[in-house]
Structure formats: structure tokens, C-alpha cells
Structure 1
Amino acid sequence: MIQIVIYYLIFGLRLGGQEMSASGVPYVYWMLIGVIPWFYISASINAGANSISSNLNLISKTQFPVEILPSMSVVRGLNGFFTMMGLFLCLYIGTGNFPTIYWLQFLYYFLAMILLLMALATLNAVIAVIFRDYQLIISSTMRLLFFVSGAVIDVTSNPDALLTKIFMLNPIVYIVEGFRDALLSRAWFFDHVWWGIYFFSVVAIILLTGVYISEKYKRHFIEYS
């Protein structure tokens, strides 16, 4: 809550965020729809990368199925996500913003987010075991991604700009903007069909790469404990 207040004071009031939402929705709602998923995404990526390396002793002593550790790190944070999103929806609906048929897309973007996080956790967890400094790289990268993933700054306001097209290559932007499309009743997911194809292609590449590396190196994990 403290972080959310700080973001609102800096980006909403100080940097003119009130004018950043072309739909006329108050910036605080626009921001919350982006920040709440971001908190969960960021925490899950960091936890996923550390999921195997922090349990090497367990793996070396038992026949523990390594494959489920990255997935567990993603599922573990869902309580916080649902709690924060539930509180937001109570506030949002309580101020007169009632559900529309667009809200049905929330499930689609939620499943897309989970799939992305599972893929990233699978890949990052294996790399973090082999390359111990990788966790530090991820932590630093997440700080940068916060500002270019659309959580508090509208990175898609100029769709024809080259910089916007570069930002949209980030799959997290697809998720954040998707939640806004759903809850702000802006658009359907099939209005961005090529963006969706790109997103799931990236997810598939990350997942297949993670599975391949995991199968190749999991028998050697004990050596890193």
C-alpha cells in the first residue's frame, strides 16, 4: 500500500498521470490495474529463479521432483494477487464502475499471465543453478522492467512510434494492457490478434527452452549443492 501511494504521488500527481489515460478513467484506477499484476509478476519471477537453487539440499537428500519447484513458486503468490485484486474490485465497483461483458477477458489474461510465469520460472530456475549471479541480474532487470512494462507509465500511448513498438515486444506489457482492456472495457483480446500470436509464440519458445535445459542438467543439480 505504501508503494502504491508513492507511485500515485510521483506518477499520478507530480508527473501528470491524470492526463495519461485517454479513456477518462481516473489515473489511480488505471495505475492499480497495472501495478497489482506487476507486483505478482515481479515476485513470481524472482521466486521462480530461486526455486531450485534454494532447495538443492532437499534435492540431494531425497528423490524430490525438481520439475514442480518453479511451478510452486508461481502458485505460492496467488493469495496476495487475489487479495489485492479483490480489494481493488470492491473499490472500483463501489465507486460506480460496474462489470461489463469485457470483464470476461480477465480469465483469459490471467491464464496467459500464469503460462508466461511458468515458462519463465522453468527457464530461470535452471540457469540460476548453473550461473549463481543470474539471480542478481534478474533482480536488477526487474527494476528496469517496472518502468517499461506499463505499470505506472502508459507505454502504448503512441502506437505508431518506434519506441512503443519496442516496448510492446515485452510480453509483460501484453498482460498489463490486457487487464486494462478487460476491466476498463476498452477492447477485446481478438482486437490485437497479432500481438496475441506474438505473445504465445514467445511463451512457447521460453517454455520449450526451459524444459530442454532442465532435462539436460537436472541430473547434475546435486553437484551444485
Structure 2
Amino acid sequence: MRTVLQLLKDIKARRRMILELAAADFRKRFVGSYFGMVWMFIQPLVTIAIYAFIFGPYGFKSAPPVPNVSYTAWLVPGIVPWFFFSEAMNMITGILQEYSYLVKKVVFPVELLPIIKLISCSFVHLFFFAVMLVFYLVNGRMPMLSWIQCFYYSFAAAMFALGLGYLTSAVNVFFKDMQQIVGILLQFGIWMCPIMYDEKLFFSKAPWVSVILKLNPFYYIVAGYRDSMITGSPFWMRPKLGIYFWGLTIVIFFAGLRFFGKLRPHFSDVL
């Protein structure tokens, strides 16, 4: 608990520096690139287009899980938060190597680095959130008050990524393969939410699969985004999932931050 309180004090005391470093980190990704930040958005947009084509009306013609909602309109609210989470995990895992010159400074609170990278990733996420809203409006969906809930679910995804990021970034200093392992787990994880398919596919033959899918904490984020954008259901309509998600996320966050703090004295020696 003391570590968390110290982290909150550091965030408050250095909030301007955090935002400046996050903005600089965001700009740094495009240095030397002719098309700049366009590349950051092309791959996710192409991914959405591919899945929409394959599973949409021109491919396998998957039945929309929600009546009167196209497959693409159902897919987008699920995959947008996943883009945010997966990018944050990949970036945070390698943050200590990327900013090794700050890690070696005794006076710099290294625990802030994952937060800086998380905010940097949030800039991209806001863009895709805006694209999602425009897509819904263009397709004739009337705005709903529940759309605001997406900010809550984005915050939930950020906290989950931050807790895991403290663990993976600390391990990555001593075990360089951690970043590759995280990448593989993320490729596997996108199919365990579920995002591309409806879990009801398994109800008739293997109903236990739905239970397993709900053990994935990110299931709560995906379901919440779709509740907010499509059905308009409030976040308190899934109380058990919410308690499970936040209970697990809080445990992971405290454990990750404590683990990070234990290994911190050795970071500069290895880097």
C-alpha cells in the first residue's frame, strides 16, 4: 500500500513532466518516417477491413450476433479496446530498455515510465475511438448516453495493462525474451475474449467454453464496449464480471508494482 501511495504522490508532483514525456514519446515514433503517424493507424484499420470482409457479407457471411446490427458494427467495439491493450502491453514491456538513460538516474522515479508509455498509447486509442463514433453515425446509429461508458472501460483496460506491464517490463530487463512471449500471448488472447466470433457458437456442443472465455479478464472490457455502443446497457448490468475483473486487476496491479519495486535496484546494473 505504501508503494501505491508513493506512486500517486509522484504522479501528482510530476504530472506536467509525465504529460510532456508522453507527448514526446508519441512524436518520437514517427521521426524519420515519411508518412509519419499514418503508419500507426494503417495496420489496425486494415485489420478491421480484413476481418469485416472475411466474416461479413462478402466472405463467410457470419450471422450478426445482435439483431439489426451488421457484423462490422459488432466487431469494431470489440477490437478497438484490444488494439489499445495490445499496443500498451507491447510498448510497456520494453519501456525500461527504451528509456535506460532515465532508469540509470537515481533521482528519477522509474515507476512512472510505464504510465508515460500508457498515456502515449492513449493518444492513438482516442483516435480510434473517434473513428468508431464516426463509423456508427455514418451507419445511421443514433448517439446514446451509454457511449460515454467507453471511457470507463478504457480506463479499466489501462489499469489492467499497467498492472501486467509492471510485471513484464521488470522481467524483460533480465529475460529479454519476455517481449516476444508477450507478443505471442497477445496473438492467442485476441481469440480468447472473444472478439472475432460470438461465444454462442459453442452453446450447443460445448457450453463450458463460454465459462472459460469469461475467465479472461478482457472479456469484461469487450462485452462492456459492445454493451455501451450497441445495446445501451449500463455497466452495472454485469456485476459479477465487474467484481471479478476489478478484484483480479487490483491484485495484479499491487503484485506487479511490488515486484517492480523489488527488482528496481538491479535495473541500472543490468541495463
- Which of 137, 143, 155 is 1:99 aligned to? 143
Supply the distance in 2 between the matched residues of 1:209 and 1:15 (Cα, whole angstroms).
43
Gapped runs of 5+ residues in structure 1? none
Return structure 1 stretches of 4+ with deviation > 6 angstroms. none
Equivalent position amino acid for 1:15 in 2: F
* Structure possessing the higher radius of gyration over alpha carbons: 2
Displacement of 1:147 in angstroms is 1.6
Look up the match of 1:133. 177
Could you tell me the TM-score, scaled by structure 2's length?
0.77
Equivalent position of 2:90 in the other structure:
46
How many percent identity over aligned positions? 27
2:260 to 202, 209, 214: 214
Q: State the TM-score, normalizing by the size of structure 1.
A: 0.91
CA deviation after TM superposition for structure 1 residue 117, in Å: 1.7
1:194 alignment partner in structure 2: 240
Aligned residue among 49, 52, 59 for 1:14:
59
Query: Structure 1 pair 119/157, CA: closer, same or farther in 2 (3 Å)?
Result: farther
Contact 1:103 1:185 in 2 (8 A): no
For residue 59 of structure 1, what is the aligned residue in structure 2? 103
- Equivalent of residue 78 in structure 1, options 108, 119, 122: 122
Of stretches 56-65 and 69-78 in structure 1, the one that deviates more from structure 2 is: 56-65
Q: CA RMSD in A?
A: 1.9
Offset of 1:64 from its aligned partner?
Answer: 2.2
Deviation at 1:107, TM superposition (A): 2.7
1:161 correspondence with 2:207: yes
Which secondary structure state, in structure 2, belongs to the residue aligned with residue 67 of structure 1?
helix
Conserved 8 A contact 1:156-1:168: no
Q: Deviation at 1:157?
A: 6.0
* Higher RCO structure, 1 or 2 (CA under 8 Å, sep 6+): 1
Counterpart of 2:78 in structure 1: which amino acid?
G
Q: Which amino acid aligns with 1:65?
A: P
What residue number does 1:185 align with?
A: 231
Give unpaired runs (5+ residues) of structure 2. Answer: 1-44
- For these two proteins, the number of residue pairs brought into alignment is 224
Give distance in 2, aligned partners of 1:60 and 1:102: 45
